[in-house]
Structure formats: structure tokens, C-alpha cells
Amino acid sequence: QRLSRLTQRQLEIVRYIAHGFTSKEIGAKLEISYRTVETHRSWIMDRLEVGSLADLVHLYFQACPEDAAAKVT
């Protein structure tokens, strides 16, 4: 599974991205700069070899289908 290549922090960021949060919202929730979130996102996409956010979200929900209906706050 490709998601196993990610750190816990990166998985947390992917989960927020998959649920529609912006970099600024994720940064506020994780108490980090939105630019740090964008850097993580870039590394995540490189590491998982995905070309778009849509591909990233698709990959995440394929790996974690039970999370599709979860409410993330």
C-alpha cells in the first residue's frame, strides 16, 4: 500500500486534504504555517507518485474507504 510510505503527520494532512480542507485551515488545525502544509503536500504527492490532488484524494479513499463517511473536524 502506497500510503504506508507516509509519516503520521503526512497521513494526517492527506486526511484533511481528502475531506476538503484548505492549506490555511489545515495549518490552523495543526498549528503550523500553511506554507508548511503546502510543502508537505508536495512531498506527499512526490512520494506517492500522484499528479493531482484529485488523484491523491482518490488514492486515499481507495485505501481508507471507511473514512469517506467520517466527519473530520
Using one digit for the tens of pLDDT, what is the confidence trace for 21-44? 999 999 999 999 999 999 999 999
- Average pLDDT over the chain, rounded to an integer: 94
Query: Above 90 in pLDDT, residue 68?
Result: no
Q: What is the mean pLDDT of residues 50-62?
A: 95
Band (67; pLDDT cuts 50, 70, 90)? confident
Q: What is the pLDDT of residue 71?
A: 80
For helices 23-30 and 34-48, give the axis angle rounded to 10 degrees: 110
Let me know: does 6 contact 48? Beta carbons within 8 Å. Answer: yes
Give, in order, the Cα–Cα distances in Å from 67 to each of 18, 32, 46, 58. 10, 24, 23, 12
